[in-house]
Amino acid sequence: MSRLNNSKHAKTSSLIFIYRALKIVGCGPKTPTRKYTVSSMRDALLGPNNGTNFAHQWNNWVPIKASVLAWRAEKDRIATRRALSYRGVPMDNTRCPLCGDYDETANHLFASCYIFHLVWQHISNWCKIHPFFVFTTRDILEAHTHINVVSKKKKIIQAIILTACWSLWKARNEKIFEDKEIDLSTLLEEIKSLEYTWIKNRSFLKILMRKDWCTLDL
Ligand SMILES: [Zn+2]
């Protein structure tokens, strides 16, 4: 396949990936003729006036559901207690179910809550990079862009972060709906194991060995 065809193929793959993501979140692009175009997809993702807005980087080494969760979290469009209360859903309280010290917002959960903070610390150690200094969900989702490593490792670190967000949100839901306590070491192992499965099946790292993954010796 020629370089030009490779480029077209990559763009087409990206558009298909974004289109599927939009279908999942139920905000498919609309034009007067109802045709799907690059600009209508971009506007649906970022809004029509997105010059200064955050541009979520999709990563095809994790399932779309994980990318969509992170994208929604950055926009504070996940069902946190305070978001539900704001939308008129009766709530006993809006406190974080994990720490109980602050209102549960997406930014609190993904950037400030102590259990999430410990996970980010562990991941930075595991990835052999400087600790994340994050204050918002956006900071977490952009963290890989500030790391001075080769692009392949940046994509791996981004995939790990997206997987961690997915696993943390799942653990938070299990705490609320099943009264299941979060065990940090179990959670960390789940994140490593889940991302190992995802990245092995979705990337070119198909011969990745488990022992190399555990030390991130890629
Ligand atoms: Zn908390």
**41/73 same-domain check:** no
Is the CB of residue 41 less than 8 Å from the CB of residue 15?
A: yes
Do 49 and 63 lie in one domain? The reply is: no
DSSP run (H or E) holding 10: helix 3-25
Number of compact structural domains in the chain: 2
Q: Mind listing the pLDDT tens digit for each residue in 100-159?
A: 999 999 999 999 999 888 999 999 888 888 888 888 999 999 988 888 888 888 888 999
Q: Ligand 1 mean position to 63 CA, how many Å?
A: 26
Model's pTM, two decimal places? 0.72
Same domain, 103 and 119: yes
Distances (CA, A) of 141 to 56, 57, 166, 185: 8, 8, 12, 23
CA–centroid distance, residue 56 to ligand 1 (Å) = 24
Query: Are 181 and 109 in a shared domain?
Result: yes
Q: How far is the CA of 107 from the centre of ligand 1 (A)?
A: 10
For residue range 71-114, what is the model confidence (pLDDT) as tens digits?
999 998 999 999 999 999 998 899 999 999 999 999 999 999 99
Which of 10, 26, 53 is the last residue before a domain boundary?
53
In this structure, are residues 98 and 113 in contact, taking their beta carbons and an 8 Å threshold?
yes
Do residues 36 and 115 share a domain?
A: no
Q: Are 46 and 63 within one domain? A: no
Q: Decide if pLDDT at 32 tops 60.
A: no
Distance of CA 19 to CAs 7, 181, 201, Å?
A: 18, 37, 21
Examine the fold and report which residue of 53, 77, 97 is the final residue of a domain before the chain moves on.
Answer: 53
Residues 48 and 61 in one domain: no
Residues 111 and 6 in one domain: no
CA 99 to centroid of ligand 1, rounded, Å = 4
Confidence at 203, pLDDT banded by 50, 70, 90: confident
Q: How far is the CA of 116 from the centre of ligand 1 (A)?
A: 8
Q: How far apart are CA 165 and CA 146, in angstroms?
A: 19
CA of 34 to the centre of ligand 1 (A): 43
Q: Are 96 and 30 in the same domain?
A: no
Look up the domain containing 102 and give its range. Answer: 57-214
Q: Are residues 104 and 146 in the same domain?
A: yes
Cα 88 to Cα 171: distance, rounded to the nearest angstrom: 25
Q: What distance in angstroms lies between residue 181's CA and the mean position of ligand 1's atoms?
A: 14
Q: Which residues have their alpha-adjacent CB atom under 5 A from ion ligand 1? A: 96, 98-99, 113
Q: Are residues 49 and 138 in the same domain?
A: no
71 and 25 co-located in one domain: no
